[in-house]
């Protein structure tokens, strides 16, 4: 029996044999008092990569977002972000529950809003509106189908925010996918953002972890919230070693995932009952519309040994990653054709 092809998310990646070996031999210590050499190395390397003063290892990107918002904002203040952004759609109301903030959604195009849109939203002052405190950008945009924010778009948003005296934060869930797709280094992409984070448990293939970066003062205060939210760990070097391995070995190979995503899109676009423009595929996310019910489609596809995700009544998402090769992509295309036939 053939192994299932799991295209549900790039979070489904499993540590490679070499990564597991590095984890097994990692130097460890008490992370909370900065005595874990593997965690310290990862934080130093990531801070350098992102051009920030300090960095902090956390269990998840969601916790990175929550801490960044909590440090920067006070009760009743507003965070501006795209209407499809992760803190708004997939963090269980955390910003409201944990920081007491309002998420002000901007209607971007494929997850990307513009400088002029932000400028219009921030226009004021107006004592009747929540005080704008933070602008958040998700790179790449998940619900934008892996859309990469261009450098001019990032610069425009940061410029508007700076003029308004509003802080900036980058959700770097798939930042390295954007780096590989655009050729623009991570440090340049986040240059004008006050805070940012890099995820290791998606395309980079580590089992756990993200690193939040910013100024020394920001990270000092962020540690209070890390303790508060239960994000502080002990011998976390076992996990950090996997992330460092990913930096060394799994960044350039993201191009393979992008190539496989385009291969998948090209194949799916030929199937009757699927609406998809392959030209919109920039990274490893493939969103498409089907004629019929998305839930029924993915259930039927699962019986064929292929897993994708229903993201709406008629929208399906497939995500390529290091556990999926070209043969797996071709199996997925063939299975989709059989289901829709």
Q: What's residue 67's pLDDT?
A: 98
Q: Which two tokens stand for residue 152?
A: 């001019």
Cβ(103)–Cβ(88) under 8 Å? yes
Q: Which two tokens stand for residue 96?
A: 């409201």
State the Cα angle at 134 between 122 and 176, rounded to 5°: 120
Q: What's residue 21's pLDDT?
A: 98
Q: Compute the Cα dihedral for 116, 101, 213, 321 and give only its sign.
A: negative
Q: What's residue 1's pLDDT?
A: 66
Cα gap 35→120, rounded to integer Å: 47
Domain definitions of the chain by residue range: 17-249, 253-340
Cα gap 316→288, rounded to integer Å: 5
Into which CATH architecture does domain 17-249 fall?
3-Layer(aba) Sandwich (3.40)
Q: How many CB atoms lie within 10 A of CB 255?
A: 14
Q: What's residue 82's pLDDT?
A: 98
Mean pLDDT by groups of 10 residues along the chain of 341 residues: 92 97 98 97 98 98 98 97 97 96 98 98 88 97 97 98 98 98 98 98 97 98 97 96 98 98 98 97 98 96 97 97 97 97 90
Q: Which CATH class is domain 253-340?
A: alpha beta
Q: What's residue 124's pLDDT?
A: 78
């Amino acid at each position: 029996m053939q192994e299932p092809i799991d295209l549900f998310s790039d979070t489904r990646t499993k540590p490679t044999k070499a990564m597991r070996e590095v984890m097994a031999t990692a130097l460890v210590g008490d992370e909370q008092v900065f005595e874990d050499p593997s965690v310290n190395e990862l934080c130093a390397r990531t801070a350098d990569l992102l051009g920030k003063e300090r960095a902090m290892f956390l269990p998840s990107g969601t916790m990175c977002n929550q801490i960044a918002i909590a440090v920067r904002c006070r009760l009743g203040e507003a965070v501006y972000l795209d209407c499809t952004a992760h803190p708004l759609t997939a963090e269980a109301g955390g910003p409201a529950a944990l920081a007491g903030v309002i998420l002000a959604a901007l209607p971007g195009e494929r997850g990307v809003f513009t400088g002029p849109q932000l400028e219009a939203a921030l226009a004021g002052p107006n004592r009747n509106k929540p005080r704008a405190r933070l602008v958040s950008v998700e790179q790449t945009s998940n619900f934008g189908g892996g859309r990469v924010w261009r450098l001019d778009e990032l610069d425009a948003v940061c410029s508007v925010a700076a003029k308004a005296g509003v802080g900036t934060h980058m959700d770097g869930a798939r930042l390295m996918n954007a780096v590989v797709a655009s050729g623009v280094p991570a440090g340049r992409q986040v240059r004008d953002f006050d805070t940012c984070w890099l995820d290791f448990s998606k395309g980079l293939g580590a089992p756990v972890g993200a690193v939040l970066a910013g100024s020394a003062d920001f990270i000092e205060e962020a540690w209070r919230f890390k303790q508060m939210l239960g994000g502080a760990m002990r011998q976390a070097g076992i996990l950090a070693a996997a992330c460092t391995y990913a930096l060394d070995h799994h960044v350039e190979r993201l191009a393979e995932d992008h190539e496989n995503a385009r291969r998948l899109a090209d194949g799916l676009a030929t199937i009757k009952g699927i609406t998809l423009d392959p030209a919109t595929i920039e990274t490893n996310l493939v969103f498409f519309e089907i004629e019929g019910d998305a839930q029924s489609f993915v259930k039927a596809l699962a019986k064929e040994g292929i897993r994708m995700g229903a993201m709406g009544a008629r929208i399906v998402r497939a995500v390529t990653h290091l556990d999926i090769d070209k043969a797996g992509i071709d199996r997925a295309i063939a299975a989709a054709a059989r289901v829709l036939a």
